[in-house]
Amino acid sequence: MLKPDPLPDSKAAYRQFCDLMSVYSESSHSLDQLQNQTNARLLKIVEPRTDEYATLQTSMTEALADIKRLAVEHSEWFSGKSKTLTTPYGKAAFRSTSSLKVEDEAKTLEILSAPEAAFYIQETGAVLPFADFLRVTTSLNLEALERLDDSLLARLGITRVTEESFTVTAAKVDMGKAVKEAAKAQENNSGKAVA
């Protein structure tokens, strides 16, 4: 169904709008076509190298497993705040994250919902009402509960779970930085030639 004609004083603007929509649509379709052609060419380039790719993927996976094993065996290499080891070939890092595991949410909600319920925080002398640890929807506020120590969490049937992750990043040239440095060096050299 066609839209009704716009008011006469806006016809020129409407015509321009339609022209721009046409340009946008044609460009979008052309980009899709270009993307499809590029993908097809890429497949032709990559196809003869699938065995090499598979071998490299396998090598990388095996190397990662061995790197992680050595990192665990030699945790002293990762001492310090950043827990990162930098080599000429890249970086390896351990990261710790923790989350709260609620054993029985209904039981914990019951404890926190009692009118007289509150925690006395010895370090600060503050009294925190349990209501601070509940959301309006009557679900646990895990972010607030994370501030509590493990013994208080245990009384609520909650366990703090800590997980370690390990990442390896291969070294690579930062092309943006390399181009800037090359341009700066060229600028400095051309400035010396003038002087």
The domain segmentation of the chain, as residue ranges, is 20-70, 97-166
Cβ atoms of 142 and 156 closer than 8 Å: no
Q: What is the mean pLDDT of the chain?
A: 80
Taking the C-alpha atoms of residue 116 and residue 5, their distance in angstroms, rounded to an integer, is: 69
Taking the C-alpha atoms of residue 102 and residue 160, their distance in angstroms, rounded to an integer, is: 9
Name the pTM for this structure.
Answer: 0.44
**Mean pLDDT confidence for 16-37:** 87
- The token pair at 139 is 């679900």
Instruction: Indicate whether 65 pLDDT > 90.
Output: yes
Least confident of 39-43, 101-105, 113-117: 113-117
pLDDT bin (cut points 50, 70, 90) of residue 189 is confident
Q: Which helix (H) or strand (E) holds 38?
A: helix 11-46
Instruction: Indicate whether 26 pLDDT > 80.
Output: yes
